[in-house]
Amino acid sequence: MSIPAFGVGTFRLQGQVVIDSVRNALDVGYRAIDTAQIYENEAEVGQAIAESGVAREDLFVTTKIWVPNYGRGKLVPSLKDSLAKLRTDYVDLTLIHWPAPGNGVSVDEYMTALADAKAQGLTRQIGISNFPIAETQAAIAAVGKDQIATNQIELSPYLQNAKLTAFLKEQGIQVTSYMTLAYGKVLKDPVIGQIAQRHNATPAQVTLAWALQLGYAVIPSSTKRENLASNLLAQQLRLTDDDMAQIAALERNGREVSPEGLAAAWD
């Protein structure tokens, strides 16, 4: 895996809340941090990293380019602005946040601009986020599949994306799962609850372990230090084939996020 299997997300966290979350995450052992231009928290994430005492080379920092910055002349300057906020000379991974088919910028144009950012040393790796199969194929046509480190997609026991994940595996593109806990909905699921009980684990640990066992990277977020520490323990949890089959049966196409104008047609 060219990207860390476990990181901390910062979606919807701002101000002192995100500073504390990132600082606590780094303190309990996280070394991968996921942010985005649209989260409007890059400066706070940068502050938390700077104050953590953890060496930059020990961290894996991901950000995502937002839609108005997709144009050839805008992407690199916007990434340089992100780097200034993050207080770093480079990020480890930069993603196109959404395909945004109605944006007037082609997949070829923004992927080529993203590859240019990599060539300039602004980002070590590049990738995509929320891309269905057709748009992923267009991204591959633009820069080659070996250039695409990951496709970060909404993925949970309630939304398992079988067609897309099978295609990505076939292409050798890493899957990063976000919203793995479906806004906390799966934590109340009786099946997940029973599996957690059997393993003396939390429902969150079971859900994250399920995604990890399928080979996905995960980036759960939390504002609570104890939850951040507890989530990390999912890496030590091994689910049985029966557990995995029971979770597979929870599929219900339960998509939580699909903004109009940003999302392309889902598979």
pLDDT given at position 57: 96
Question: Is residue 180 included in any domain, yes or no?
Answer: yes
pLDDT given at position 14: 96
**224 three-state secondary structure:** coil
Compute the C-alpha angle 160/62/122, nearest 5°.
Answer: 140
pLDDT given at position 26: 98
Q: Which residue in 142, 151, 209 sits closest to 180, CA to CA? A: 209
Question: Is residue 168 included in any domain, yes or no?
Answer: yes
Binding site listing for substrate: 97
Question: Is residue 264 included in any domain, yes or no?
Answer: no
pLDDT given at position 17: 98
Please tell me the total number of residues recorded for the chain in this structure: 267
Helix 133-143 to helix 107-119 angle (10° resolution) is: 50
What are the C-alpha distances in Å from 28 to residues 41, 210, 232? 21, 22, 9
Question: Can you give the pLDDT of all 267 residues of the chain as single tens digits?
Answer: 589 999 999 999 999 999 999 999 999 999 999 999 999 999 999 999 999 999 999 999 999 999 999 999 999 999 999 999 999 999 999 999 999 998 999 999 999 999 999 999 999 999 999 999 999 999 999 999 999 999 999 999 999 999 999 999 999 999 999 999 999 999 999 999 999 999 999 999 999 999 999 999 999 999 999 999 999 999 999 999 999 999 999 999 999 999 999 999 999
CATH number where 88 lies: 3.20.20.100
pLDDT given at position 1: 57
If one counts the domains in the chain, the total is 1
Binding site listing: 97
The string of DSSP letters for 141-180 reads HHH-GGGEEEEEEE-BTTB--HHHHHHHHHHTPEEEEEST
| Catalytic center residues | 39
Question: Is residue 78 included in any domain, yes or no?
Answer: yes
What is the spatial distance between Cα 34 and Cα 94, in angstroms, rounded to a whole number? 10
Question: Is residue 92 included in any domain, yes or no?
Answer: yes
Question: Is residue 265 included in any domain, yes or no?
Answer: no
Strand order in the sheet with 91-96: 8-9, 32-34, 60-65, 91-96, 123-129, 148-154, 174-178, 217-218
What is the spatial distance between Cα 202 and Cα 74, in angstroms, rounded to a whole number? 44
Question: Is residue 127 included in any domain, yes or no?
Answer: yes
Write the DSSP symbol of residue 95: E
**Are 230 and 205 in contact, with CB atoms under 8 Å apart?**
yes
Question: Is residue 228 included in any domain, yes or no?
Answer: no
Range of the structural domain that residue 109 is part of: 8-184+217-222
